[in-house]
Amino acid sequence: MNRHLLSIGDLDRSEAISILDTAFELSKISDGAMKKLPTLRGRTVVNLFFEDSTRTRISFESAAKRLSADVINFSAKGSSVSKGESLKDTAQTLQAMGADAVIIRHSASGAAARLADSGWISASVINAGDGTHEHPTQALLDAYTIRSKFPELKSDFSGLKVAIVGDILHSRVARSNVLLLKKLGAEVTLVSLPTLLPVGVESWGVKVSYNFDSILKNVDVVMMLRIQSERMNEAFFPTAREYSRGFGLDQDRLESLKSKAIVMHPGPMNRGLEISAASADSLQSVVLAQVSNGVLVRMAVLYQLLGGTPLNVVSNSKEVVN
Amino acid sequence: MNKVLKNARLLDGSIVDIEFVNGEIAQIGQDLSGKLEIDIAGNLLIPSLVDLHTHLREPGREDSETVATGCLAAVRGGYGAISPMANTTPVADTAGVVEQVFALGKEAALCDVFPIGAVTQGLQGEKLAELGAMNSSRASVRIFSDDGKCVFDPLLMRRALEYVKSFDGIIAQHAQEPRLTNGAQMNEGEISSRLGLTGWPAVAEEAIIARDILLAEHVNSKLHICHLTTAGGVELVRAAKARGVQVTAEVTPHHLLLTDDLIVDYDAVYKVNPPLRTSADVLALRAGLADGTIDIVATDHAPHPSEDKDCEWQEAAFGMLGLETALSVVVLAMVESGLIDWTTLVERMAIAPARIAGYSGHGESIRVGAKANLAVIDTSASWTVDRNKMASKSKNTPFHEMTLPSLVVKTFFNGELVFDISEKGGV
């Protein structure tokens, strides 16, 4: 596996499966009384967040701490970054401090790649969301969640039909999910307004639908994306209500789904906009499972990137770590 | 003192000796002798190149380029005249600023520096700058451009086109519809969608080209299209020329060679405005340059300090160096591909730009009485670009470590040797 995780494109199919399998092994440990492993003791993991995202940051923080890493949270707000320090200087500062891994969230597409490829630092870089590019750990945790609900899939998602619904154009979650789901063999349909689909989407190897209702009965997974209501100010759609009528997962649409279909959302949700409260809280919703699986998958990624000791040894350890 | 160039190969293949007296060609013949003889050993002698689109950063950003360093880069690239754009700080929108840049060029004394004036005050696109004052200044500005920004207001564009007719001026348009390119980072297409970078669609360039061609036709004025990048833009210019509109167009060396799929690693050295396009666009631009739809090559030489490139893509500055690599890139894209010969290359890079801009003493065929503004090219050589060895103050060349054909070995300006590759650092 590469030293960095910048894009789902960095992983081949077997590496992706290996992360999911590792996360599954870790889940067995996490279900036990002793949740913490000594694997990354003495290693320093930096959460470098240029964009506010409490949920992603605490997910990575929990993952690193459960592996006994030292965690430094570096938030751009109120730091030297807001005083005009460049990404390069920030990176070199972290390097001088001896970071082993840097988890970066940034509003600029490609910021994680720049951090990894510019020779500024030697640490492993994990992309925790860069602009409208990718969010690879989200896609991995989504795949993990899908597999946990459809255990017959194992390492081949052939036959699984997934709809990704909403603002594809601006969604890093959608880009990473398309890449990973296709890699695993699933059939992906992007459901959105023409204004919210990227130019050239026909080259992505996915189906496209402008009509949410027409695909509801056929899909196994409905992945709802967060819509930013201010997009209407840029004329992507006329009003939030019109968007919601066409692409919100409301009660009627929820009832049209197959009984075994699951409803996903990367969070944070706009209840009443892209997803109704009833849908979000329904039995078919796996939103909370996504959150808890996020910690497991991020543990697995840290574990593999930072070269943890073989898992079977660690999982048998009775060592108590503070 | 007379000077004789021995064994110069001309475009027709003949080998001649050429005598310079007082900065002009006095004699062309065989076995000429002079007080100073320079043997160029059968290398190709051409009129020095003329650039109608250059960014020097003086006044304002002398850390990235001065007029003097820009001139040094120019003569290393075989140029005899360059045309700095108006987007300096302060903006070259008054007679004072264009005269300052003009004077700095005279002081450097390496090549001619003919400033381009702003169309609108402060490049704000709101009020016309004093175009007449710039024209009648010592800098004698004839070309006006808000380059970097589009003169978007159609009424203002119309007025500018009309206004400069009184002194046979030209408006050079940076064709970019601003609303369609809000926040744009790279060519809109498959690559931008994959990378999650905001797209700069071809239609944003073509919509302005189409509008301005119609305006120029309506008021019968001269329009020049800066840095054409799209296949559709080439078609628009071709059709306009066919019906007699006074439109000329330029293409940059980088748009003749590089495509948007180079951006996969978010290396901001490839960030340029207008952006790198697709291979279909590159082929259309080459065909347009070959058949004369595109009149000239212009460098859009745009120096930037490393901190403005060594950063996140969307924070990085737009622009690439061009002067020192232009000739070789055009040889690679156009001559080696068999689309044009050296005679046409000289037409597109020296003769036509001098003719469009009216730069006297430049772009003249090699004949008795012509100014000795000449470049010597080793057409059999190849060289590897090293960004750390540029004459420019900046290093943002996208051709770093590329091996390119043809090497400029000497440049003469008014008969003086201003660049010689055999000397350390070239003069």
Q: Does B80 touch chain A (CB under 8 A)?
A: no
Give the number of A-B residue pairs with CB atoms closer than 8 Å. Answer: 67
Superfamily of domain A8-135+294-316: Aspartate/ornithine carbamoyltransferase (3.40.50.1370)
| Interface contact flag, A131 B196, Cβ < 8 Å | yes
Three-state secondary structure call for residue B81: strand
| Interface contact flag, B196 A200, Cβ < 8 Å | no
Residue range B3-45+370-390+403-420, CATH number: 2.30.40.10
Region of B8 please: left (phi>0), alpha (psi -120 to 50) or beta: beta
Query: CA nearest B77: which of B344, B410, B427?
Result: B410
ipTM above 0.95, yes or no: no
| Interface contact flag, B312 A110, Cβ < 8 Å | yes
Torsion A165-A167-A168-A172 (CA) sign: negative
The answer on pLDDT for A212 being more than 80 is: yes
Choose among B188, B196, B312: nearest Cβ to A87. B312
Query: CA nearest A141: which of A262, A6, A264?
Result: A264
The answer on pLDDT for B259 being more than 50 is: yes
In chain A, whose CA is at the least distance from the CA of B313? Answer: A110
The answer on pLDDT for A1 being more than 70 is: no
In chain B, whose CA is at the least distance from the CA of A6? Answer: B265
Which of residues B269 and A154 earns the better pLDDT score? B269
The residues of B assigned a catalytic role are 300
| Interface contact flag, B310 A133, Cβ < 8 Å | no
Rounded mean pLDDT of B132-153?
Answer: 98
Rounded mean pLDDT of A268-277?
Answer: 94
Domain(s) labelled CATH 3.40.50.1370 in chain A stretch across: 8-135+294-316, 136-290
CATH assignment of B48-357, given 3.40.50.150, 3.20.20.140, 2.40.50.140, 3.40.50.300? 3.20.20.140
Query: CA nearest B6: which of B42, B50, B53?
Result: B42
Query: CA nearest A285: which of A321, A314, A249?
Result: A249
Q: Which residues of B touch A87 (CB under 8 A)?
A: 311-312, 315
The answer on pLDDT for A319 being more than 50 is: no
Q: Does domain A136-290 have CATH number 3.40.50.1370?
A: yes
Quick one: tokens of A205? Answer: 């190897």
Quick one: tokens of A213? Answer: 């209702």
Q: Which residues of B touch A175 (CB under 8 A)?
A: 194, 196
Give residue A320's pLDDT. 34
Query: CA nearest B99: which of B132, B134, B51, B61?
Result: B134
Q: State the Cα–Cα distance between residues A205 and A179, nearest whole angstrom.
A: 9
| Interface contact flag, B266 A86, Cβ < 8 Å | no
Q: Which residues of B touch A173 (CB under 8 A)?
A: none
Choose among A87, A110, A200: nearest Cβ to B193. A200
| Interface contact flag, B312 A113, Cβ < 8 Å | no
Vertex B258, ends B252 and B264: CA angle to 5°? 135
- Give how far B194 is from chain A: nearest CA, Å: 7
- pLDDT, tens digit (0-9, with 9 covering 90-100), for A66-117: 999 999 998 876 555 655 678 888 888 888 989 999 999 999 999 999 999 8
Q: Could you tell me the residue ranges of all domains in chain B?
A: 3-45+370-390+403-420, 48-357
